[in-house]
Amino acid sequence: VELRTVSTQPYNDQKPGTSGLRKRVKVFQQQNYTENFIQAVMETIEGGSKGATLVVGGDGRYYLDEVMQIIIKFSVAAGIKKLIVPQHGLVSTPAGSHLIRKNKTTGGILLTASHNPGGPDKDFGIKYNVRNGGPAPENVTNKIFDISKSLKKLTYADLPDRVDYSQIGSQKIGDMEIQVIDGIDDYVALMKEIFDFDAIRCFLQTNKDTFKLLFDGMHGVTGIYGERLFVKEFGLPKEESLMRSTPLSDFGGEHPDPNLTYAHELVERVEKEKIDFGAASDGDGDRNMVLGKNAFVTPSDSVAVIAHYAREAIPYFRKNGINGLARSMPTSRALDLVAEKQQLEHFEVPTGWKFFGNLMDAGRCSICGEESFGTGSDHVREKDGVWAILEHYKIYGRNFFTRYDYEEVDSEAANNLIQGLRDLNIVGKNFDGFIVSDVEDFEYRDPIDGSVSSHQGMIVKFKDGSRFVVRLSGTGAQGATIRLYIEKYSNNPSEYATDTQQALEPLIRVALDISRLKQYTGREKPTVIT
């Protein structure tokens, strides 16, 4: 194989955000844009790229194959020893994370923009994960960014033909091995260690005629896992139990984001067809939404419910115990209440999965979650999961929670809004009965490695325990997205059944008033409410 070195111009915007580098496909298609970023990743690999092993694959979105080919060419040139590629390059983010850990590879490159739409005019993403299987921490992503800004040369293998990875087996390109594997087997094996498959199968088979389950793959990568689990392992009929389970490069033209807005088809079917358990995952399979016949479980609650029942209901935790809990800062504090009651250590980390990794590696966190439909255990199917939510309110009270997203807002207006909150002097002031107790610019010091992440969001806290959070998204591909998170606690049982939006309405008004969101952005309404 011949190597070729060419000169290149650096780009200045290749800074990975909350979860990798996400841009429009058109941006990745600019001359050497993708090549530059991959070169920067190769130069950042821990311990050097020579002799390293990587897992490479993605969620099947448009442009996957082009980028796979680039990664293969650059890997050969960088002296990578072996690439492990799931068949057709399809792998969910959690399954990819597991492959890195199981095979003890140096890291992995996951090709996904997660819940962002796909297609020639939509988004693509490249995420570098490290040895522990998690997204690269900030010191690594900063290094990739620094290298990308001063790149002068690209070195790659000059391969005449497209490399095929549709057949399981091994091939050699120069000195590098490409091992194509079944991308589902290992993940299913892991799930079998965590959950009691026999009990789930038995439950679903025994109640075949009365208990209906529907899984929505949103045309992302999880359809292939859903089919293996629900149809092959649990013996459910495919037609009735799965929807949108074929991965499509444009996700059927929709947002592969499992929330009440984008998964409305599932929501409607659950209601109309009286389905007992509905679930959906995002494009790359690291988010989940759970629906019951009469209940939508907010992700902030579901992680708390899982934590509460884990030692009883999930064999993995029965065996290993729980070492601690963690949530991202904007996530409601239902989880903290479980931690306090069960006397578990708990952490509040900035938004994004990379912050949980250190805690988990150090054995201080077993279950974690985010309000954006991400939980530490992916496919939770303990028998009483959905209904257990009611049990949770009875014991702990209810944390009402909602998120308002304002997408594609002018970046300057968004920054001004945050700065405006920083400059406020309102502690002690009364807003419609809500008395401000604190305004905080959230900063996180990692208790494991001591690194500090500043300006992770503005929190306005009130005397009654309510709060709202404003932060800017780090996963958008264009303009700025403002996220406004609103949370109110109640331990009055007569309020538990109140509709979330209704219960939060007064506090939302106060949040819009204090943040002056309408004045800064000109937006009357959020783009999405979750």
- Exactly one of 39, 44, 105, 351 binds ligand VG1 (CB under 6 A); that residue is 351
Q: Which stretch binds ligand VG1 (CB under 6 A): 2-10, 222-230, 279-287, 342-350?
A: 279-287
- Exactly one of 399, 475, 490, 521 binds ligand VG1 (CB under 6 A); that residue is 475
Rounded to whole angstroms, the Cα distance separating 465 from 345 reads: 21
- Interaction of residue 82 with ligand VG1, rule CB under 6 A: no
Q: Give the residues lining the site for Co ion (CB under 5 A).
A: 114, 282, 284, 286-287
Does residue 114 have an active-site annotation?
yes
- Exactly one of 35, 483, 503, 507 binds ligand VG1 (CB under 6 A); that residue is 483
- Interaction of residue 526 with ligand VG1, rule CB under 6 A: no
Q: Which residue has the tokens 């429009």?
A: 24
Binding mask of the shown chain, residues 216 to 255, with x at each position contacting ligand VG1 by CB under 6 A: ----------------------------------------
Minimum distance of ligand VG1 from residue 57's CB (angstroms)? 15
- Interaction of residue 287 with ligand VG1, rule CB under 6 A: yes
Please check whether residue 59 is in contact with residue 112, taking contact to mean a CB–CB distance below 8 angstroms.
Answer: yes
Minimum distance of ligand VG1 from residue 352's CB (angstroms)? 5
- Exactly one of 196, 216, 227, 286 binds ligand VG1 (CB under 6 A); that residue is 286
Q: Are strands 53-58 and 82-86 parallel, antiparallel or unpaired?
A: parallel
- Interaction of residue 404 with ligand VG1, rule CB under 6 A: no
Q: In what order do the strands lie in the sheet with 21-24?
A: 21-24, 123-130, 107-111, 53-58, 82-86, 176-181, 169-173
Q: Are strands 434-441 and 458-462 parallel, antiparallel or unpaired?
A: antiparallel
Rounded to whole angstroms, the Cα distance separating 398 from 304 reads: 11
Half-sphere exposure of 91 (CA within 13 A, CB side): 31
List, as one string, the DSSP characters of 311-378. HHH-HHHHHH----EEEETTS-THHHHHHHHTT--EEEE-SSTHHHHHHHHTT--SEEEETTTEESSS
**DSSP label of 24:** E
Minimum distance of ligand VG1 from residue 22's CB (angstroms)? 8
- Interaction of residue 282 with ligand VG1, rule CB under 6 A: yes
Residue 362 tokens read as 């150090």
Site for ligand VG1 in 414-473 (CB under 6 A): 473
**Distances, alpha carbon 515 to alpha carbons 80, 330, 355, 481, 495, in Å:** 50, 16, 27, 15, 27
- Interaction of residue 328 with ligand VG1, rule CB under 6 A: yes
Return the C-alpha torsion angle 251, 257, 258, 259, nearest 10: -130
From 19, 114, 328, 453, active-site residue: 114
- Interaction of residue 327 with ligand VG1, rule CB under 6 A: no
Minimum distance of ligand VG1 from residue 68's CB (angstroms)? 19
Half-sphere exposure of 92 (CA within 13 A, CB side): 28
Closer CB to ligand VG1, 96 or 309, in the complex: 96
Q: Which does 219 bind (CB under 5 to 8 A by kind): Co ion, ligand VG1, none?
A: none
Minimum distance of Co ion from residue 297's CB (angstroms)? 18
Please check whether residue 338 is in contact with residue 325, taking contact to mean a CB–CB distance below 8 angstroms.
Answer: yes
Minimum distance of Co ion from residue 187's CB (angstroms)? 15
Rounded to whole angstroms, the Cα distance separating 123 from 22 reads: 7
Minimum distance of Co ion from residue 114's CB (angstroms)? 3
Bridge partner list, 135: 129
Half-sphere exposure of 331 (CA within 13 A, CB side): 31
- Exactly one of 352, 357, 385, 526 binds ligand VG1 (CB under 6 A); that residue is 352
Closer CB to ligand VG1, 49 or 86, in the complex: 86
**Distances, alpha carbon 265 to alpha carbons 60, 280, 299, 381, 520, in Å:** 22, 11, 19, 21, 34
Closer CB to ligand VG1, 351 or 402, in the complex: 351
Minimum distance of Co ion from residue 59's CB (angstroms)? 8
- Exactly one of 119, 474, 479, 506 binds ligand VG1 (CB under 6 A); that residue is 474
Q: Which stretch binds ligand VG1 (CB under 6 A): 198-206, 271-279, 351-359, 461-469?
A: 351-359
Rounded to whole angstroms, the Cα distance separating 467 from 88 reads: 46
Minimum distance of ligand VG1 from residue 54's CB (angstroms)? 19
- Interaction of residue 479 with ligand VG1, rule CB under 6 A: no
Q: Which does 97 bind (CB under 5 to 8 A by kind): Co ion, ligand VG1, none?
A: none
What is the size of the binding site for ligand VG1 (CB under 6 A)? 18
Residue among 457, 483, 479, 470 nearest 411 (CA):
479
Residue among 141, 188, 153 nearest 10 (CA):
153
Please name the residues in contact with 485: beta carbons below 8 A apart, sequence gap of 6 or more: 330, 371, 401, 402, 403, 404, 468, 469, 470, 471
- Interaction of residue 370 with ligand VG1, rule CB under 6 A: yes
Burial per residue of 369-389, b for 16 or more beta-carbon CB atoms within 10 angstroms, e otherwise: bbbbbbbbbbbbbbbebbbbb
- Exactly one of 372, 377, 490, 530 binds ligand VG1 (CB under 6 A); that residue is 372
Closer CB to Co ion, 35 or 286, in the complex: 286
Q: Which stretch binds ligand VG1 (CB under 6 A): 37-45, 53-61, 77-85, 347-355?
A: 347-355
Residues that bind ligand VG1 (CB under 6 A): 18-19, 114-115, 282, 286-287, 328, 351-353, 370, 372, 374, 473-475, 483
Catalytic residues, by residue number, are 114
